[in-house]
C-alpha cells in the first residue's frame, strides 16, 4: 500500500538505472507502463534502497543521510498512523524526494516482497519498541521481532534486485552472557537466551533471537547480510522524544554499569555506520559490527545519564550500586575496534575484509 500523499509521486517495480541529469531541471512523471518514475532532479546516480520504519529515530536519520548522498529511497512503515510520526521527523522537502512511502506489515511476507521489489539493498531498522513508549517490550514482542527478521530476509531473497540486507540489531545481543562475564565483549559474543528469559531481559532476548534468525535465513537463501549492533541510541532531541523507549534497553542497567558494558551511541553516527557498511560491501565488508561511541565508566556519568532520562536511581541505585568514587573510572569491557576499521576503510575505499 502506497501512502495517499505519495501515490502519484513515484512507483518503482524494476531497478532504476544509474542516470545522469542535465543541468536543466528534469522531472520524471508517473509512468505505470514501464514501472519507473521520479519526482526529483540533480542526482548523479540512482540506486533504489528500502529503509524499514522511517518513523523511528534511527530510521528517519538514515533516510535523511541516504537522500543527502543521492540515493533513491523507498520507506516502509507499519500503519497509517506511523506516517504522521514520520512527518514530524523528516522535513517536507526531504519527504518530497522519497520514491514512495509504503505500508508493509513486518508479519506479512507478501507485503514485504512488494515493498522490497527492485531494491538494491534493504536497511532493516524496524524495531517493535513502541516509539511513544506506551506498549513496552514483552516476551511476545521478542517473538514477533524474530518472526519479522525471518520475513525480511526471505522477502529480500525473493524480491530485491540485489540480495543485500543491512540489519539493525543491538549491543544487547552480545553483552548478556554471564558465563563469560570477565572477557572483552566483541562481535564473537552472543547473549545467553536462557539468561535473558530468566531475568526478563526481553529486548535483549528479542534482539538476540532476531539477529540469529536473520543469519540462519541469510545463509539458507544466500542473502548478503551485515548486522549493526548499536548501543543505547542518543539524539539531539534527547531526552524529550526518547525517554520511554530507553527503558527496555536499560533493564539490567545497574549490572551493565558495574561490568563497564553500559554504552551509548549518537543516532546520527549510527546511521552513518549503516551507510558505510552498505557502501563497503563491495570492498569485503561483512559480519557483525558492535557500534558505540561512549562507555559509561564513572558514577557521575551514570548520574548524568539518569538526569537526562529523568529516572533518578535507575543506574546508580542512588549512589549505592558502585563502590567507586565519582572520578574513578572502570576499564571498558567492550570493543568497537571492528567498526572503527570499517569506517576508516570505507572512507578510503580500502579492503574491509577482517
Convert the pLDDT of each residue in 282-324 to its tens digit: 989 999 999 999 999 999 999 988 888 778 888 888 655 554 4
Whose CA is closest to 156, among 49, 315, 276, 258?
49
Give whole-number Cα distances, 89 to 131, 275, 335, in Å.
12, 19, 31
- The three grid cell numbers given for residue 73, joined into one nine-digit string: 529511497
Assess contact for 260 and 315: CB atoms under 8 A: no
**Is the model's pLDDT at 229 over the cut of 90?**
yes
CA distance 199 to 252: 9
DSSP-derived pairing of the beta strands 224-230 and 164-168? parallel
Strand partners, 278: none
Q: Do 105 and 1 meet the contact criterion of CB atoms below 8 Å apart? A: no
pTM listed for this prediction: 0.85
- What is the grid cell recorded at 324? 567507586
Residue 96 half-sphere exposure, CB side, CA atoms within 13 Å? 7
Contact present, 332 and 295 (Cβ < 8 Å): yes
Q: What is the pLDDT of residues 250-276, one digit of tens each?
A: 999 999 999 999 999 999 999 999 999
C-alpha cell at 54: 522511517
Q: Is 353 a catalytic residue?
A: no
**Per the residue annotation, which of 64, 163, 207, 217 is the catalytic one?**
207
Q: Are 24 and 48 in contact (CB under 8 A)?
A: no
* pLDDT of 38 above 90: no
Q: Give me the domains of the chain, ranges plus CATH numbers.
A: 4-231+268-292 (3.40.50.720)
Amino acid at each position: 500500500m502506497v501512502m495517499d500523499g505519495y501515490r502519484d509521486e513515484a512507483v518503482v517495480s524494476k531497478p532504476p538505472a544509474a542516470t545522469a541529469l542535465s543541468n536543466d531541471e528534469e522531472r520524471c512523471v508517473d509512468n505505470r507502463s514501464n514501472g519507473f518514475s521520479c519526482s526529483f532532479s540533480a542526482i548523479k546516480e540512482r540506486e533504489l534502497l528500502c529503509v524499514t520504519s522511517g518513523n523511528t529515530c534511527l530510521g528517519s536519520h538514515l533516510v535523511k543521510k541516504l537522500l543527502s548522498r543521492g540515493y533513491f529511497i523507498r520507506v516502509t512503515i507499519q500503519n497509517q498512523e506511523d506516517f504522521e510520526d514520520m512527518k514530524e521527523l523528516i522535513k517536507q522537502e526531504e519527504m518530497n524526494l522519497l520514491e514512495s512511502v509504503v505500508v508493509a506489515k513486518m508479519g506479512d511476507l507478501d507485503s514485504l516482497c512488494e515493498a522490497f521489489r527492485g531494491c538494491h539493498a534493504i536497511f532493516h531498522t524496524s524495531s517493535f519498541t513502541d516509539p511513544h513508549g506506551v506498549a513496552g517490550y514483552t516476551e511476545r514482542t521478542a517473538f514477533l521481532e524474530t518472526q519479522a527478521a525471518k520475513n525480511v530476509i526471505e522477502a529480500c531473497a525473493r524480491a530485491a534486485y540485489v540480495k543485500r540486507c543491512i540489519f539493525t540489531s543491538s549491543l544487547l545481543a552480545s553483552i548478556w552472557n554471564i558465563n563469560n562475564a570477565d572477557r572483552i565483549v566483541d562481535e564473537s559474543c552472543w547473549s545467553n537466551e536462557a539468561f535473558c528469559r530468566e531475568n526478563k531481559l526481553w529486548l535483549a532476548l528479542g534482539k538476540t533471537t532476531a539477529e540469529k534468525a536473520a543469519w540462519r535465513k541469510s545463509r539458507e537463501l544466500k542473502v548478503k547480510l551485515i548486522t549493526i549492533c548499536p548501543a543505547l541510541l542518543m539524539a539531539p532531541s534527547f531526552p524529550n522524544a526518547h525517554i520511554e523507549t530507553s527503558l527496555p534497553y536499560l533493564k539490567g542497567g545497574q549490572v551493565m554499569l558495574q561490568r563497564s558494558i553500559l554504552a551509548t551511541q549518537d543516532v546520527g553516527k549510527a546511521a552513518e555506520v549503516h551507510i558505510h557498511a552498505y557502501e563497503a560491501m563491495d570492498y569485503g565488508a561483512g559480519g557483525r559490527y558492535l557500534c558505540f561511541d561512549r562507555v559509561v565508566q564513572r558514577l557521575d556519568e551514570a548520574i548524568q545519564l539518569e538526569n537526562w532520562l529523568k529516572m533518578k536511581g535507575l543506574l546508580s541505585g542512588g549512589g549505592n550500586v558502585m563502590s567507586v568514587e565519582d572520578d574513578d573510572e572502570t576499564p571498558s569491557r567492550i570493543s568497537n575496534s571492528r567498526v572503527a576499521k570499517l569506517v576508516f576503510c570505507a572512507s578510503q575505499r580500502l579492503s574491509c575484509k577482517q
